[in-house]
Amino acid sequence: MASWHGDRRSITLAVQRQPGVNTVETADAVHALVERLRPQLPPSVEIATLYDRSESIRHSVRDVQFTLLLTLILVVLVILFLRNLPATVIPSLSLPSRWWAPSR
């Protein structure tokens, strides 16, 4: 679509994922394709990403991972405070394996 970006004429290309497709993987694939195309374009052409929904998804995943890690540490500390070694070892070993397991 022909448009204006700031005070410059531009061509806007919107890429939309299909339902059920991973947004982050789609964005990574589009960025990789753009990088492959960049050397083939004339120097006067500039490619810019205006909006990338995958960035907010990546930040959300990092926040969830941090929260899970903090929760794990607090759970282990509380159980250590109760001075029950078996009850401390079981969650400290089982939670990280579930946390890092692929979720496909």
**What are 12-38's pLDDT values in tens digits?**
888 888 888 888 888 898 899 989 988
Q: Which residue has the higher pLDDT, 89 or 9?
A: 9
Q: Would the CA dihedral through 101, 66, 85, 78 be positive or negative?
A: negative
- Over residues 47-58, mean pLDDT: 86
As a whole number of angstroms, the distance between CA 54 and CA 45 comes to 25
As a whole number of angstroms, the distance between CA 95 and CA 100 comes to 9
Q: Compute CA distances 38 → 8, 52, 67, whole Å.
A: 19, 18, 39
Q: Is pLDDT of 59 > 90?
A: yes
- Over residues 60-75, mean pLDDT: 86
Check residue 53 and give its pLDDT. Answer: 85
Half-sphere exposure of 56 (CA within 13 A, CB side): 3
Check residue 85 and give its pLDDT. Answer: 72
11, β-bridge pairs: 2
